[in-house]
Amino acid sequence: MPPSRLDFQLQARASGSRARAATFRTLHGVIQTPLFMPVGTQATVKAQTPESLAASGSQILLANTYHLLLRPGPEVFEKMGGIHRFMKWPGSVLTDSGGYQIFSLPHSRSMTEKGAVFQSYVDNRRILLSPELSIQTQRSIGSDIMMVLDQCIPSTADEKTARKALQVTQRWAARSLAAREDSPQSLFAIVQGALYPHLRKESAAGLVTMPFDGFAIGGLAVGEEKHQREDVCELTAALLPEDRPRYLMGVGMPIDLLEAVHRGMDMFDCIIPTQVAKRGTAFTSRGIVELRRSVYKFADAPLDAACTCPVCATHSRAYLHHLTKTQETLGWTLIGQHNIHFYHQLMREIRESILEDRFLPLYHEKRAILAEEDLDHPVKPPKRGQSATVSEIGQFELHGSSIRHLETGAVVPTEIREELPELTKLLKAKNDTPVVIWDDGLGAGAAALSAILIYEALAQKQAVTPMHIVSVADDLDALRLALSHKRIFPWLRHGAADTILHRGAWKSRFCAGLSWSLAKEEELPKPDLVLRTFQGTREHEAPVIEF
């Protein structure tokens, strides 16, 4: 394989781990790994300035080819001298190809060997996004690192669909490489193959024979469970060249980055730091802090006493709580600035530990904290002698890897079902009238999430009847408790669960006919199927599936 444009230099490997530290050089400077890239989809990271991003330690920003192709358009970047001059960003930029955005519009595009045909949300014109147009646009944008156009599918897709997408991605990768021509910009390939190890091996084997400057793992964080993502990540990372950067696309939470570094990955991106900041969620050295909570109303203390960012040096939790409750934009800006700083600081600590060969102790230390809620102010204060980790909420307690009711001792169902034949039959009927599913009892949300995951998997294979889930429960404390222990109940990492708890309603971005809401008993529509869980007692005439 010819030398990489990035001059990748591996500096250290951690003992007892695949974690590694390295440097590489882009057109705008030397990059240290592992690193996190804030997402600036539209040539801006939401609610942040270039100055605050640089101060926090951002090395590379991610921008999106699909959106920038539509607005402002390649001609603007060509006239303005590229994205760096356009947005006044002195650091490096990586541009995603637009493959994931095309995937997220399943009802507004068509896929062919030539590329993806879609309708512009700006002016309604029809556009064929081909590998050649994607690279041409990225060349006009002037990013330091370009991504090949790939066909992204759900990680839970069947093997036939996954193989077809893999083969298309392989051919598009070769076309993307040819379209780069003599550009000095670097180009990364994307390994696909869903959750099938042999397909990941096939994809990697084909791509590493081509002279790419780096390699990414795509098709994860789109439906699979946490342990599945980690297994695929570890397998695929081991298949990639040692002398090239490895990029895990679209991941994720701080705990996800830690786990991925442990498995050999170097680069990450995700919208989470700024997305959750908008609703008052902050990552700290004492766990995840939800600033909406009234416990912070009089909290005259920094957001994180161990943090060195300007927000923690200047503002109190009480002020950030106020900004969150009043939905002031400044709250989004400040909490987002802190979160980005937290991500970068985590990457710096990980890198330092690898260079000093003490990564494993750091890994175990961070792993115990990063996924927890605020350890100093848990949702329900622990009883004397108990751990500060939340183990009880209301009438429910965490008991090992299960949840049970304190008074009755009844165990709340927490197992996801991959098959519900009665539901599948209703969805395959292909009616226009939505199927109404009662989730009678709610509990930890296992019944509703089972139905959602089955719907999403089936919708990728064929047209299905729309489905609306209506949950009715006496209280939501079992779900609250389960959501505070996603490492035990990883299926709750599906975005629907948090949304239904905080907003009372959820609508899928990827499956147009899929929705979920909470309802009072007097508002319940007539069901086609009832999923009964825990304390469900509602009367009806529809078929029942017990959880």
Catalytic (active-site) positions: 96, 269
If we measure between CA atoms, which residue out of 347, 297, 288 comes closest to residue 324?
297
Which amino acid is it at 172? W
Both tokens of residue 493? Answer: 């990492």
Buried/exposed 428-458: b ≥16 CB within 10 Å, e otherwise: eeeeeeebbbbbbbbbbbbbbbbbbbbbbbb
Q: What share of the chain is helix, strand, coil (3-state, %, to 5)?
A: 35, 20, 45
DSSP 373: B
| Amino acid found at 139 | R
3-state secondary structure at position 286: coil
Q: Which amino acid is at 502?
A: H
Asked, as a colleague might, if the bond just before 34 is cis with ω within 30 of 0, I would say yes
Return the residue matching tokens 């429960």: 473
d(CA 186, CA 143): 9
Strands 396-399 and 392-393: antiparallel
Q: Give residue 542's Cα distance to chain centre.
A: 36
Residue type, 88: K
The length of the chain is 547
* Whole-Å CA distances, 84 to 90, 182, 516: 6, 20, 42
State whether the Cα torsion 178-183-184-190 is positive or negative: negative
| DSSP, res 441 | S
Q: How far apart are alpha carbons 55 and 104 in whole angstroms?
A: 33
195 alpha carbon, distance to own chain's centre: 17
Rounded to whole angstroms, the Cα distance separating 262 from 18 reads 6
**Is residue 53 within 8 Å of residue 41, measured between CB atoms?**
no
Note whether 149 and 156 are within 8 A (CB).
Answer: no
* Residue among 351, 375, 353 at smallest CA distance from 362: 353
Is the CB of residue 60 less than 8 Å from the CB of residue 145? yes
SS (H, E, C) 516-529: EEECCHHHCCCCCE
Position 372: which residue type?
A: E
- The DSSP 8-state label assigned to residue 39 in this structure reads B
Tell me the CB-side half-sphere exposure of residue 190, using CA atoms within 13 A: 32
Concatenating the DSSP letter of every residue in 310-326 gives HHHHH-BHHHHHHHHHT
What single-letter DSSP state applies at residue 61?
E
